[in-house]
Structures are given as C-alpha cells and as structure tokens.
Structure 1
Amino acid sequence: MGETLDVRDIPPSDRHPKIHAAFEALAAGETLTIVNDHEPKPLFYEFQAEVESFDADGYEVEQASPNEFRAHFPKH
C-alpha cells in the first residue's frame, strides 16, 4: 500500500517539499506514487542521495500518456 500524490497542479517550487513530506509520512514497506507531467529523474537522484529510507532499487516509472508519468518511490 501507500499513497498517490498528483503534483501536476502544484507549482514547481512547492513540489519537492510536498513529496518529501508525503514520503516521510509513509510506513516502511509502503510506496509513494507520484503522478507528474514529466519523468522525475532529478527527484530520483535527490532521493537516492539524501533519503536513507528510499529503496532506489525498487524505483519504477511508467509513462501513462504523453503528459502523465507515474513514479513509484518505495520506502524500506
């Protein structure tokens, strides 16, 4: 289980703080799914470098449509 957070309507400057807060609220073993208008590679690298509880090996991203990417950030 986990949470889905659609950040497409959130101003870009506010996205990362909201994403980090949502991820921190998860229990170990849960996954935060982010719906975005682009592949969030910079966010992946940020999490990989700064968030110890992020399971980088379990990260997945899928493109649902040209303007919809679903990125899965698992927590361990």
Structure 2
Amino acid sequence: MPTLDVRDVPPVDRHDRIHDAFAAMEPGETLTIVNDHEPKPLFYEMAAEVEAFDEEGYAVTREAADEFRAEFPKRE
C-alpha cells in the first residue's frame, strides 16, 4: 500500500502530487496520505473528478494534532 507524506510539501503542490501518485497505482491498491489536517477538500475533489476513486472505501484517522492518515482506494 503506497504511502505519501505531504506535510512537508507546499500546500499549493499537494493535490497535484497526490493525484499523480493515485494515477500511478494499480486498480485495487490504496494510497495512504499523511497530512497535517483532515483532507476533506481533497476527498470531495477526488470524488467529483476521479472516476477510479472508490469513495466508499475512504477512511481517515487522526494520529496526532498534526498527523492525519487518509486512505484513498482505487477501484478494481
């Protein structure tokens, strides 16, 4: 399961990097994003724009005040 920590990536570059990593995955894989906030805007963007995103399988957990782990599964 690929993991992408974007906490040190400038906010303006985060979504592009995440979209590229998601597109590079095989169907059935899940991309785990480590972020400094809950990525709700990214969830809505992916749900609206990325047909391969399995929004039913999306999950997010808060590990620390500045660490959220969100799972973005790709449809098989």
* Structure-1-length-normalised TM-score: 0.97
Q: Distance in 1 between matches of 2:66 and 2:11?
A: 15
Q: Distance in 1 between matches of 2:8 and 2:65?
A: 16
Paired-residue identity, % = 67
Q: Distance in 2 between matches of 1:63 and 1:32?
A: 16
Give how far 1:58 is off.
Answer: 0.1
Show the counterpart of 1:58.
57
SS of the residue 1:27 aligns to: coil
Paired residues for 1:2-17 under 5 Å: 2-17=1-16
Q: Distance in 1 between matches of 2:39 and 2:8?
A: 15
Show structure 1 runs of 5+ residues with no match. Answer: none
Give how far 1:65 is off.
Answer: 0.6
Within the alignment, does 1:44 sit opposite 2:43 as a pair? yes
Q: Could you list the per-position Cα deviations for residues 29-62 of structure 1 after superposition, in whole angstroms to 9, with x for gaps in the alignment?
A: 0000000000000000000000000000000000
Give how far 1:18 is off.
Answer: 0.3
SS of the residue 2:2 aligns to: strand
Structure 1 residue runs of 4 or more that deviate by more than 6 Å after TM superposition: none
